Structure 1
Amino acid sequence: MAAPPTDLPGTGAPRPALAPLLALGALVALVLVAGSGGYGYHRDELYFLAAGRHLAWAYADQGPLTPLVARAADAVAPGSLVALRLPSALMAGTTVALTGLIAAELGGRRRAQLIAATCAAVASVVLIVGHLLSTATFDLMAWTAVTWLVARALRTGAGAPWLAAGVVAGLALLDKPLIAFLLVALGVGIAAAGPRELLRRPAPWAGAAIALVLWSPWLIWQAGHGWPQLDVSSSIASGGSSSSQPRWALLPFQLLLVSPVLAPVWIAGLVDLARRPELRPHRLFAVAWVVLAVVFLATGGKPYYLAGMFGVLLAAGALRADAWLDHGARRVRAGLLAVAVVLSAVVSVTLALPVLPARDAGVVIAMNGDIGETIGWPALARTVAGVYRDTPGAPVILTSNYGEAGAIDRYGPALGLPAAFSGHNAFHEWGPPPDRPSPVITVGFSAARLRADFTGCRVAARIDNAAGVDNDERGEPVDRCAGTRAPWSRLWPGLRRLG
């Protein structure tokens, strides 16, 4: 039989199981660090490293936070994947611990807190975003932190958690604007489900004001550059991103982002937040989830955009799971839960981390395309270098996307390559090549596009990787062109691509 809860003096709330929650978070971080050196850079990581060398208050497709982290990590340990990905591992471990703390705020005793944190620890989405440096990693942790702070504010009635939530949200907004949807959805939840007296208190509004002030440099930059983030979002909604999915896939994907066998936990949490009398003060979270689901369905958001709500849903579901373990055949039920956790852990680790040889990772890549995007970048740079050496006249290197440009910037200096140019996202902001006649080496462009802007183009090589992995770059052409049909300054606006 489970031990009775230990209440915090004067609150009636179970005491947070800090030591085991922190230990579980640390274990997740250690697992991620252990797997962080496998395969190679992701295309986004190469992009963040390049953006870190061009620090700004904002970029066309993101805020400054992740490029700043990339620059700091590369300054401390140049070229180290482990150092680059360490912040992500720490953020993922923090997400795990925070999920358990949310369960405590909802009234969950020690076992419920550990169930919630364990479900988060084996969730595919936590391990996938925790393996790579990405804007999604801090975003996931920030959503979980904000929901914990709001749950704490609802329990204690204190104003400080609202202010802290504003700080966390403001920093997250300097990473990516997604958490703004959470703040609006929570506001709708308060208005629709209560407690509505919060709308008359200064602390929630002060927290929102703090977030807005912290976000203001990004807003000012976007306004001054024509709001390119809106174009990026439109491109994602229309399928322009490699990780875009059909709109109908958003809800079914939610069953996979934690684990199919643990989906009953978060689904029970959603239902209980909406219906259970004991959780009535927290019903706003259920309303917020519905609002977010509707908004992301309508706008074509990626399936993982809802992942930040899993912390509070798993926490609420863990309360139900904890009670379920105390009834019926207890050992059988405990065994079923343990099997579900172990099975989820095995599948999630296999999907998220480079545990298989690259040649044997085809099935994994089919389910998690990000793994495939960590393979082959050194080979791409070597292929371009071979064409460059055979092309007289100091050719310009132009790539079709930021991953290719980032790979040439990362591996090119050792191969004698100059910096690459690209019209993709922030690379376009960093300017065109000089207006001088020269040959051009292009990577990943269609023949039709080359005919429109360049002269004398011939395929000189094709991208491949030694592992034979069928990723987005394999088979892409490397063309050698005699020159451009117009000066670069005239071509450059038409080469811009957002998404």
Structure 2
Amino acid sequence: MKNVKNTTLIILLFCVIELIVHLIADYNSGFHGDELLHIATGNHPAFGYMEFPPVIGWLAWIQDQFGSTSVFVHHIFTHIATILILILIGLSTVELGGKSKAVFIVLFCIMISPGFDRSQQLFQPFVFSELFWVLAFYLLVRFVKGANNKNLFYLTVALAFGFLNKYDIVFFIAGICSLFFFKNTQKILLSKQVWKFILSFFVIVAPNLWWQYVHGFPMFQMFSRLYETQLDKLSIGGVFGELIIDLNPVTLLIWLPGLFYMFNRKSKATYRPLAVCIALTILFLALAKSKHYYFFSAIIFLIIFGSIWFEQIVLAWRKWLLYPVIALFILTGLFLLPWGLMVLPLNGFISVYKLKKEENRYQIPFDEYYTKSKWVKTMTAIKAVYDSLPAKEKQGCLIWGKHYSQAGAVNLFGSAYGLPKAFSYHGSFYLWAPGGQMPETVIAFTNGEATIDFFETYFNSVVAVKKVYNPYADFDKDMYQTIYICKRPKQNFDGLKVLFKKRVFE
């Protein structure tokens, strides 16, 4: 009873601390570029989008009802998901035989990891992916311990909604299929009842699969582009190195032993099926050339096992080792925290880490640190260009954002500046592009990923009128945003949609 109380208090303590630091980060930060796309999906609720399944859009729709441009408002579900992740990690640790110290260690590892801090801060599918993976893992543990229809049904539903959030859960599902070869789960998985659960899964995900079919399976176009431009260039060694750094090198002392411990634990009836499932999941992710942060959800499982190993083996050998480990966690956690969460204001971050200007910019790796001021400058510049147009040209004028983040920013912040709506043919914005005749005048803007030649393809007159300098850009192409006035379009909106059909992810 005392252990239950201690465990509950530990989970509660970490939930409170985690929420506080995330709220501080909300206060200091702006939006990540991808978040502006995810927020925009709330204006277009559907059963799917070009880049991801529908869950993020449903959540965005609820948040959009507040009519706010606040970072906090658009992080409501992110913070809820983070708290639920911590609770489920704690419960999973207990289910696997861990006590209060194991729960303390596993939650501490999550909190001091800049990778987890950042993935659980942004309004992106990643935080909800971690939530559904951890929920499914908790239910999987219960199923392995007591194989019955009830546990299998709950697991099926969790996996189905995980699929509706992000397709990466198919790697976990593939790993779970290994349970067909273990005696304590084989009987129920080979029974006639299992078809009911398979059918339940496909009934839940069917609306998204139908949406993909109707729209020509854009997810395959996206994956193809990802492999062409990014994933094929990755190496296993490079990915593993990034993973160690992003999860805090100290946590390697926990999750790497966890990988071996889950295979060697005496309680093989419970541990061995889970170990094979997790190992296969990681192997499938590696074979698919996944980016390092795609492994985060699976690494959580290893941290759970590693924390149990530390409690049951290491502390049973030398109890005093807990204190230097905690001290090491605190020191590294405090140093790395601002590299995952914006707990420092921008100038404080630059000062504390003594960042120097290189090539006329600071090269801040996370755009959340500076986007609050970036978009104010951008909207102000576009407003000046818009106000310079004759009244006749303002009528029907729209704004073309080359990147979805640019169109998303105008549609989120632009009304406060009296700006017209933006459109784009990048990502899911392609689905929402207007049809019919184009206005005679369009204001376009882009980063360095496109030049004036790009817009001259679609307009008879294109003039660059303003540049917005970004002194914090990490890449050359992000140093300037160029604003153009485009006149006399060569085609209508429907023609543009045809031209960009195969270029949605460029």
- TM-score for the superposition, normalised by structure 2: 0.86
- The question of whether the paired residues in 2 share the 8 Å contact of 1:99 and 1:120 is answered with no
Match status 1:401 vs 2:403:
yes
Which secondary structure does the structure 2 equivalent of 1:411 belong to?
helix
Which secondary structure does the structure 2 equivalent of 1:238 belong to?
helix
Match status 1:369 vs 2:366:
yes
Would you say how many aligned residue pairs link Structure 1 and Structure 2?
485
1:173 CA displacement: 2.0
Unmatched 5+ residue regions in structure 1?
7-13
Out of 314-323 and 467-476, give the one that drifted further. 467-476
- The question of whether the paired residues in 2 share the 8 Å contact of 1:385 and 1:415 is answered with yes
- The question of whether the paired residues in 1 share the 8 Å contact of 2:375 and 2:409 is answered with yes
Task: Tell me the amino acid that sits aligned with residue 371 of structure 1.
Answer: E
1:381 CA displacement: 1.9
Task: Write the deviation string for residues 75-117 of structure 1: whole angstroms up to 9, x where unpaired.
Answer: 2362232122122112112212222222212212222222222
Task: Write the deviation string for residues 254-299 of structure 1: whole angstroms up to 9, x where unpaired.
Answer: 2134221111211111111233332453333433344333433343
* Aligned residue among 489, 498, 503 for 1:493: 498
1:474 CA displacement: 3.1
Task: Tell me the amino acid that sits aligned with residue 474 of structure 1.
Answer: M
Match status 1:482 vs 2:479:
no
Which secondary structure does the structure 1 equivalent of 2:485 belong to?
strand
* Aligned residue among 142, 145, 151 for 2:135: 145
- The question of whether the paired residues in 1 share the 8 Å contact of 2:118 and 2:341 is answered with yes
Which secondary structure does the structure 2 equivalent of 1:62 belong to?
coil
Out of 34-43 and 416-425, give the one that drifted further. 34-43
* Aligned residue among 152, 161, 172 for 1:171: 161
1:43 CA displacement: 2.0
* Aligned residue among 381, 387, 393 for 2:379: 381
CA 1:201–1:374: 2 relative to 1, 3 Å: farther
Which secondary structure does the structure 2 equivalent of 1:326 belong to?
helix
Match status 1:304 vs 2:296:
no
Correspondence for 1:443: 445
Task: Tell me the amino acid that sits aligned with residue 335 of structure 1.
Answer: Y
Task: Tell me the amino acid that sits aligned with residue 497 of structure 1.
Answer: V
CA 1:201–1:102: 2 relative to 1, 3 Å: farther
Out of 210-219 and 244-253, give the one that drifted further. 244-253
Match status 1:293 vs 2:282:
yes
Task: Tell me the amino acid that sits aligned with residue 416 of structure 2.
Answer: A
Distance in 2, matches of 1:247 and 1:234, equals: 18
Correspondence for 2:46: 56
CA 1:437–1:104: 2 relative to 1, 3 Å: closer
Out of 407-416 and 164-173, give the one that drifted further. 164-173
Which secondary structure does the structure 2 equivalent of 1:107 belong to?
coil
Correspondence for 2:427: 425
Correspondence for 2:69: 79
Correspondence for 1:461: 466
Task: Write the deviation string for residues 424-447 of structure 1: whole angstroms up to 9, x where unpaired.
Answer: 111111123541451222211323
- The question of whether the paired residues in 1 share the 8 Å contact of 2:117 and 2:337 is answered with yes
Task: Write the deviation string for residues 350-384 of structure 1: whole angstroms up to 9, x where unpaired.
Answer: 11222233245467996853535744122222222
Task: Write the deviation string for residues 22-49 of structure 1: whole angstroms up to 9, x where unpaired.
Answer: 3322331232123222221222222222
- The question of whether the paired residues in 1 share the 8 Å contact of 2:445 and 2:484 is answered with yes
CA 1:387–1:367: 2 relative to 1, 3 Å: closer
Distance in 1, matches of 2:439 and 2:43, equals: 27
Task: Tell me the amino acid that sits aligned with residue 447 of structure 1.
Answer: I
CA 1:282–1:446: 2 relative to 1, 3 Å: farther
Correspondence for 1:10: none
Correspondence for 1:232: 222
Distance in 1, matches of 2:198 and 2:5, equals: 29
Task: Write the deviation string for residues 449-496 of structure 1: whole angstroms up to 9, x where unpaired.
Answer: 22332322232122334x644466431322222332323321222234
Correspondence for 2:328: 340
Distance in 2, matches of 1:272 and 1:5, equals: 27
1:178 CA displacement: 1.6
Task: Tell me the amino acid that sits aligned with residue 479 of structure 2.
Answer: R
- The question of whether the paired residues in 2 share the 8 Å contact of 1:153 and 1:162 is answered with yes
- The question of whether the paired residues in 1 share the 8 Å contact of 2:364 and 2:472 is answered with no
Correspondence for 1:9: none
CA 1:490–1:74: 2 relative to 1, 3 Å: closer
CA 1:319–1:82: 2 relative to 1, 3 Å: same
- The question of whether the paired residues in 1 share the 8 Å contact of 2:435 and 2:493 is answered with yes
Which secondary structure does the structure 2 equivalent of 1:54 belong to?
coil
- TM-score for the superposition, normalised by structure 1: 0.88
Match status 1:213 vs 2:218:
no
Distance in 2, matches of 1:191 and 1:464, equals: 59
- The question of whether the paired residues in 2 share the 8 Å contact of 1:21 and 1:97 is answered with yes
Q: Give the CA RMSD over aligned residues.
A: 2.9
Distance in 1, matches of 2:192 and 2:130, equals: 27
Out of 211-220 and 343-352, give the one that drifted further. 343-352
- The question of whether the paired residues in 1 share the 8 Å contact of 2:172 and 2:281 is answered with yes
- Percent identity reads 20
Correspondence for 1:349: 337
Distance in 1, matches of 2:425 and 2:10, equals: 48
Distance in 2, matches of 1:206 and 1:416, equals: 54
- The question of whether the paired residues in 2 share the 8 Å contact of 1:352 and 1:371 is answered with no
Correspondence for 2:359: none
Which secondary structure does the structure 2 equivalent of 1:441 belong to?
strand
CA 1:240–1:51: 2 relative to 1, 3 Å: farther
Which secondary structure does the structure 2 equivalent of 1:477 belong to?
strand
Distance in 1, matches of 2:370 and 2:334, equals: 22
Out of 279-288 and 412-421, give the one that drifted further. 279-288
Distance in 2, matches of 1:483 and 1:190, equals: 64
Distance in 1, matches of 2:408 and 2:187, equals: 51
